[in-house]
Structure formats: structure tokens, C-alpha cells
Amino acid sequence: MRMKEMARRTGVHERLLRYYEQQGLLAPARLPNGYREYSDADVETVRRIRILLTAGLSTTVIAQVLPCVARDSDRLVPTCPDLVRRLRSERRRITREIEALQASRTLLDRVLGAAPPAFADEPAAGEAPRSPAAA
């Protein structure tokens, strides 16, 4: 199938499909005219890529782990012995990032908590003004 059909079947924009190819995540066949020709297996690969991206992995990490995951219904299953260790390491990294964001939010809450009461009803920069009914 051509790129437009691939984008339609996967819900992934053509620009992202090209990016996945640049990152070594996809390798569609090339026709003599240079057009990309995707297979049904490529559709499944894009679905696995999307799951791994949603799980918080970078495309660099995905390129390393993609050959070691198979899809079983609606979940991915590790197929290489070292993959579980690698994914646990990524999980620890994500946990550290979450903890750092929570600490940042706590500090921001402290700053907001110190604001004079008169500022309480003013919207933050980028927020829509509050309607009187919402107050």
C-alpha cells in the first residue's frame, strides 16, 4: 500500500511515517519510481511503535526494543531475554521524571499559595477569564 493508505489505516500522519523511517523504525519497500510501498506487517509495526511511544519510550529506545516485542491481542509481549531488564530501567527513568514533575508542581503550588487573596480570582497567563457564574 502507498503512504496515503498507510496513514489512513494507522491514523498516523505521513510526516510521522517518514520520521519513523528516518529513525530506523520502519523500512518500507521502494518502488522503481521511489514511492514507498508498505505491507500489512508495517501497519502492525506502526501500531507497536505507537504503543511504545504512549508508554513513554523515545524513538531511540524503541528502535532497540522493537525487534523484541510481539503483539498479543491488545498488549505487547517481550520476546528477548534482556528486554524486561531494559524496560524496567525505562520505567525507573519515567518514575524519576514523574517525581521531578510532582516536586515542581508542589513548589509552584507554594508560590501560588503565597499570592495575595485579591489575585485568587485572576486567571493565569494563557487561561480564559473565569465567568461570574463559575466563581
Domains identified in the chain, total number: 1
Cα 108 to its chain centre, rounded Å, is 26
> Rounded to an integer, what distance in angstroms lies between the CA atom of residue 9 and that of residue 45?
12
- What is the per-residue pLDDT across 44-96, written as a single tens digit (0 to 9) for each? 999 999 999 999 999 999 999 999 998 887 788 999 989 999 999 999 999 99
- What is the per-residue pLDDT across 16-57, written as a single tens digit (0 to 9) for each? 999 999 999 999 999 999 999 999 999 999 999 999 999 999
Phi then psi for residue 3, to 5 deg, are: -60, -40
What pLDDT score was predicted for residue 117? 86
Residue 16 lies in a domain: yes
What pLDDT score was predicted for residue 130? 55
- Domain encompassing residue 99: 3-116
Residue 40 lies in a domain: yes
Residue 97 lies in a domain: yes
What pTM value is reported for the model?
Answer: 0.74
Residue 104 lies in a domain: yes
Higher pLDDT, 118 or 62: 62
Residue 129 lies in a domain: no
All 3 cell numbers of residue 111?
A: 508560590
